[in-house]
Chains A and B, each alone.
Chain A
């Protein structure tokens, strides 16, 4: 197995995730795209862990999973709040911060 096959998988997923973040208007879907990005990062971390024969990567991966869980929790909470106030979760409609 090549190092690159995993890294490329990670890269492709990352780019798909980026596309999702840019293209999606729906906040929930945007969060999902972020999850894809995070997972692609995890794949990278674990690949390097295997390559370098260390377990640091595993630790980071676990931390990322944990942080992601927290992020989803808070993120969805925010979405819920927004929805309750504005009856929409379309990100584009949240432009109060326009300069």
Chain B
């Protein structure tokens, strides 16, 4: 358990730092790469949370696909790959209090609700089969709906991005 805690702590810190860099860096490509770190960290956390399949999906879909999309998007919209100055808008400062207030609110709610409740010690890793049983069992209808969403998105993206 201790090892897990240490692991969690290291990954969490890395994630937070990376996330902060994502929202503060002045270079779009850097931001994308920092985002990779966040996403990879998230995948690691999923493993700590006994969610193998989700973690793998995270790596495949996010880091594999979404990131490539981002990088392509960046390159297609901006030729410049380097530091830029006008990435932030003039309301930048407003974000800090907003974020802090939210954090305080959530922190209050969390400490109040869960206090020092612990996760079950000997959690069994959720197998892919269990997940698929769920998806293709009770959650089949949402799965279909999601398929349509994805289809629509693909079509939409092509329509939007098509040059003509």
Contacts and interface: CB of A to CB of B under 8 A. Distances in A.
B81 interface: no
Given A19-B23, A49-B51, A78 B160 contact: yes
Contact of A58 (B35, B53, B76): B53
Interface residues of B, number: 90
Contacts of A35: 35, 38-39, 62, 66
A50 B49 contact: yes
Given A13-B19, A19-B23, A91 B89 contact: yes
Contacts of A51: 117, 119-120
B126 A81 contact: no
Contacts of B133: 55
Interface string A65-95: 1111111111011111101100001111000
A64 B73 CA distance: 21
B98 A55 contact: no
Nearest to B35: A32
Given A39-B38, A56-B134, A7 B160 contact: no
Contacts of B42: 39, 42-43
Interface of A: 1-9, 11-26, 28-29, 31-33, 35-36, 39, 42-43, 46-47, 49-51, 53, 55-59, 61-63, 65-74, 76-81, 83-84, 89-92
Interface of B: 1, 4-5, 8, 12, 15-16, 19-20, 22-23, 28, 31-32, 35, 38-39, 42, 45-46, 48-51, 53-54, 57-58, 61-62, 65-66, 69-70, 72-74, 76-78, 84, 86-92, 94-96, 98-100, 102-103, 106-107, 110-111, 114-120, 123, 126, 130-131, 133-135, 139, 142-143, 146, 149-150, 152-154, 156-161, 163
